[in-house]
Amino acid sequence: MLLALRRLSVAAACVLAVGLPAAEAQETARVVPESKAQVQLSFAPIVRQSSGAVVNVYATRSERRQNAGMEEFFRRFFGEGGPSVPPGRSQSSLGSGIIVDASGLVITNNHVIENMNEVKVALADRREFEAEIVLRDPRTDLAVLKLKNATDLQVLELGDSEALQVGDLVLAVGNPFGVGQTVTQGIVSALARTQVGVSDYQFFIQTDAAINPGNSGGGLIDMSGRLIGINTAIFSKSGGNVGIGFAIPSSMARVVLNSAKGGSSKVVRPWLGARLQSVDGEIATSLGLARPTGVLVTSIYDKGPAAEAGLKRGDAILAVDGQSIDNPDAFGYRFTLKGTQGQTPLTVLRDGKRTELRVALLPPPERPARDPVRVRSRSPLAGATLVNMSPAVAEEFQVDISDDGVVVAELDEQGVAASVGFQKGDQIVALNGERIASTKDIERLTQRTGGYWEITVSRGGRVFTTVFGR
């Protein structure tokens, strides 16, 4: 067999079987099995090394709903976005997670524990612990839990997902359909998948290792026994595995985990201060590119990092710190991995010439201040906490920066605003015909009670007006 075709990681499994250090195993050359003896090699040493760190996550929540009478009316305007759980009904969720720190930190998918208020974790050795939710990050669909009073834990070390290659062998470990811990084997089918649609940072590892419901939050493990991905989604018309599964790379998981270890309850990302769009064939031709690649800068936020670095509207960003990018998702992923300290180089195409600009890695500013206002008066917004728009707020809630409007930052689950369908991230643009510039306007305009309410809302790129009290 030709040497050039030796790509699979059987040799790494052989090294682990004889007990060499993981670092040496990772450096071992990838080879294709060349004999019956090699084909009969077992993944058991890797499973023993890692499976004890893969846990089952059980999350529950009891819901009570008030003021449900207005829900159907409001949904005519908002669609299926409002509460949907009947009064007194209990929600539950089942998924998987991975112990990544001896202190009891567990990383899982955010959708496993989303909207839940009680979380328990069952270990492979049948011990169970209550868990505190330390950090939720919906934008990556990751969350970090902390086991209470847990000792003697097996930990799975994070590997380097950047070193993966298509064709590498991987194991998926989790709890599919609640049947118990299950190990499946496959290969890396593709890298940097960006059209999956399950989170804001789409840069997934695709694998054919069997992943099913309940595997969410489980581990994708390489042949060095290291965690290189968090299993998070499947492509399926039936709900079962069809050989197309997706995992969040460990590089992104490390960013979220480091935020939790640093004591933060949220992930702070670097802010570019520019709006980007994909480069299609027509744009590529106009830029003199041989093929569509990179991202086009369509607007610059005044005094933001992009403006300070010298980026201009019409520039094409081709790479972040030498890593080429093909779309805004890839840019967001690469840029986020750089953190919020120092600078990073961007390869930019301008007027047919390539140049390098260094952009500061800074968190988005809180200008103006949030100045939160909680609406307590009798109005459709009662129970909502609204904040002023700023780059930080726009990044957090993934809305466009606008001079007008305030953003719904929190909702009292038993309040009127939640019951009629308002959601976090909604922009309140106008109230009773008056434009809203700040939370002071909301505070003033909601002082009255009852009567007629006309509210203009921006959500997901749609702006519409709805009326209450007619």
Active site residue 441: no
Tell me the whole-structure pTM to 2 decimals: 0.77
pLDDT of residue 239: 65
Helix (H) or strand (E) holding 367, with range, is none
Q: How is domain 274-360 classified at the CATH fold level?
A: Pdz3 Domain (2.30.42)
Common-topology check for domains 274-360 and 373-468: yes
Catalytic residue among 51, 96, 111, 329: 111
Domain 373-468: top CATH class: mainly beta
Active site residue 216: yes
Mean pLDDT of the region 302-324? 94
Catalytic residue among 216, 250, 259, 438: 216
- The pLDDT > 90 percentage for the chain reads 53
Binding-site positions: 111, 141, 214-216
pLDDT of residue 393: 92
- Domain assignments of the chain as residue spans, ordered by start: 3-42, 49-269, 274-360, 373-468
Q: pLDDT tens for residues 418-446?
A: 988 999 999 999 999 899 999 999 999 98
For residue 150 the two structure tokens come to: 């847990």
Catalytic residue among 51, 96, 101, 141: 141
Mean pLDDT of the region 402-417? 87
Binding-site positions for substrate: 111, 141, 214-216
Domain 49-269: top CATH class: mainly beta
Q: pLDDT tens for residues 185-194?
A: 999 999 887 6
For residue 117 the two structure tokens come to: 């208020």
pLDDT of residue 254: 94
